[in-house]
Structures are given as structure tokens and as C-alpha cells.
Amino acid sequence: MQLTWSEDLSVGNEIIDSQHKKLFELFEDITRNPQTNLDRILEEVGNYINLHFAEEERWMARVGYPDISEHRQTHKAFVDSTLRMKMDHIMGGKLSPKQLTKFLQTWLVEHIQGCDLQIKQFCLDQKKDEIII
């Protein structure tokens, strides 16, 4: 399974695509700096994910995406439980930076493929010009 951004993960919205790329970069930083900057990187990841989800949810609302509440729930579930749990684990030394990175990358790829690309498909089906912004 691919764990980096590539064109097939493009949702057709430049801002969202650039944020997805940035998230992959932040996840890579965890592997590169497992000890020295881990606290800072994890905080940065959390902040950036919140910013990204908010942007994506504004996009869904703007284009009238019908499954916005389900999609929002997947974001909320990730922020509320999984990410925090994984971060707690790593802070307690139970999860290695590499394992955490793999988890985050896998979640992101699966989320883009399973959920975010449906927004793109909806926009294409509706012929929404706003897909590219």
C-alpha cells in the first residue's frame, strides 16, 4: 500500500491537496526526528489536522455534499479518540515513532481513498465548477 501522496489521491481541490501533502510531510518528520522534536511535531500534526478538517468541512458545506455529517464524524472520531490515543501511547513509550507514522499515513491514505475522493466524485457528478479552487 502506498503511504505517500500521489496524483491518484488528488481530490481536485488545490487547497485540500496541498494540505494532504503537508500532512504526509509532517508524518515523515516523525520518522526523521523520533526523539528530539517529537513533542513539537505531534503538536504540529494535531493543529494542522484540525485546520485541515475545518477547511475540508467548509468545502463540503459549500458544494452541498450530502454526506457531510458522516464525513465529519470520521474526522471527529480520528481527532477525539484515535490520534490522541496513539499519541498517548507514544508518549508512554508503548508505540514507536515508526509505528505511529505508519498508522497516521495508513489512516490518511484510507481516508482520502474511502471518503475524500467521494466529495470529488460528487462534484464531478454535479458538474460543480468549484471543484478546482
Query: Where does this chain bind Fe ion (CB under 5 A)?
Result: 56, 116
Residue 81, classified by CB atoms within 10 Å of its CB into exposed (0-12), middle (13-18) or buried (19+), is exposed
Q: Which is nearer to Fe ion, 72 or 128 (CB)?
A: 72
Q: How far is the CB of 51 from Fe ion (least distance, A)?
A: 13
How far apart CA 47 and CA 9 sit, in angstroms, is: 22
Min CB(35)–Fe ion separation in Å: 31
Instruction: Determine the residue with CB nearest Fe ion.
Output: 116
- In this complex, which beta carbon is closest to Fe ion, that of residue 29 or of residue 116? 116
CB 71 within 8 A of CB 65: yes
29/56 with CB nearer Fe ion: 56
C-alpha grid cell for residue 103?
Answer: 498508522
Buried-exposed string 49-78: b where 16+ CB fall within 10 A, e elsewhere: beebbeebbebbeebebeebeebeeebeeb
Cβ-count burial of 36 within 10 angstroms (0-12 exposed, 13-18 middle, 19+ buried)? Answer: exposed
**Least distance to Fe ion, CB of residue 109, Å:** 12
- Cβ proximity to Fe ion, 90 vs 112, nearer residue: 112
Least distance between Fe ion and beta carbon 20 (Å): 9
